[in-house]
Amino acid sequence: MLIRLGYDIEFELETRVPIVAMLNVHPSRLKDLREPDVLRVEPDGKTEAYTDAFGNRCERFVASPGTVRLSNSTLIEDSGEGDEQNPDARELPVDELPPDTLQFLLASRYCEVDLLSNTAVELFGSINPGWQRVQAISTWVHDKVTFGYNFARSTKTALDVYTERLGVCRDFQHLAITFCRSLNIPARYAAGYLGDIGVPPAPTPMDFSAWFEAYLEDRWWTFDARHNQSRVGRVLMATGRDAADVAITTAFGRTRLTKFTVVTDEIAQETRGRVATLAASAEGSSAASR
């Protein structure tokens, strides 16, 4: 299937502000893009791209006083299948884990492993290790925490979520990640697009989404404590220890958000032929110009 991705975001600034944006599709999905994935910054336009310590694509720029607009529209091809699953995937002993996964066992800004370790053992220590245990964690968080945008708080940690039992999607993932790490299962935070494809449309405006990944057997697997079901059309943008590592924008100065629109739409069957024809025409023109 083809999915139209995009966003239109505006801020009001009183002074010049350096900004780092993490709004590109993750490098692991570059091969699936069918149109350029370009961050457009208005009015200045000049950006500098780089890759951060977690392998995410980032761009930084300096925004001038007034209105700054960040926008993009791109097209990606997706398998149309749900998240991969492997109920037989096993946990690895810490001494057998790849070195680059070890950082995802440690406490981080929003994931207080040291404060929730005993709780994790009490709740999940008796469950069979591996996929079954991670799924039990995801299900427990999904069932015990109530979702609501009015529960959002930028300082809310996993311990707060466990205590309050309220939160938004990132809070669900922080608590699940913390429980996994407390049981020596590497877990990391993931952010990206997740549209209402194959499920009833949500009554709220489209937004970016969060989920988590756990390292089992020999790879990272997708879990989602917020929705707790395999979903179609999930498009990764960035991964990190927690939400602090994958903020879509980080401003080094005062900004005021005035517009926020996200698009994640499956391209209808009748329009796919037109998209393919346009792509073929563009390729033919390019070949002719050579």
- The domain limits of the chain are 2-80+248-278, 94-245
Answer yes or no: is pLDDT of 268 > 90. Answer: no
User: Residue 188: which of 230, 122, 238 has the closest Cα?
Assistant: 238
Tell me, what's the pLDDT at 285?
38
Decide which of 3.10.620.30, 3.40.1190.20, 3.30.360.10, 3.50.50.60 is the CATH code for 94-245: 3.10.620.30
- The residue ranking higher by pLDDT, 289 or 72, is 72
Tell me, what's the pLDDT at 274?
45
Average pLDDT on 94-105 reads 98
CB 172 within 8 A of CB 225: yes
Tell me, what's the pLDDT at 12?
98
Q: Please state at what angle helix 169-182 crosses helix 113-124, rounded to 10 degrees.
A: 80
Q: What is the pTM of this model?
A: 0.91
CATH, range 2-80+248-278: 2.60.40.2250
Name which of 92-101, 179-188, 191-200, 276-285 the model is least confident about: 276-285
Q: Count Cα neighbours of 284 within 13 Å in the Cβ-side half-sphere.
A: 6
Average pLDDT on 129-136 reads 98
Tell me, what's the pLDDT at 269?
59
User: Residue 11: which of 49, 60, 64, 58 has the closest Cα?
Assistant: 64
Report the distance separating Cα 148 and Cα 203, nearest Å: 12
CB 190 within 8 A of CB 163: no
126: left (phi over 0), alpha (psi -120 to 50) or beta: alpha
Report the distance separating Cα 176 and Cα 209, nearest Å: 15
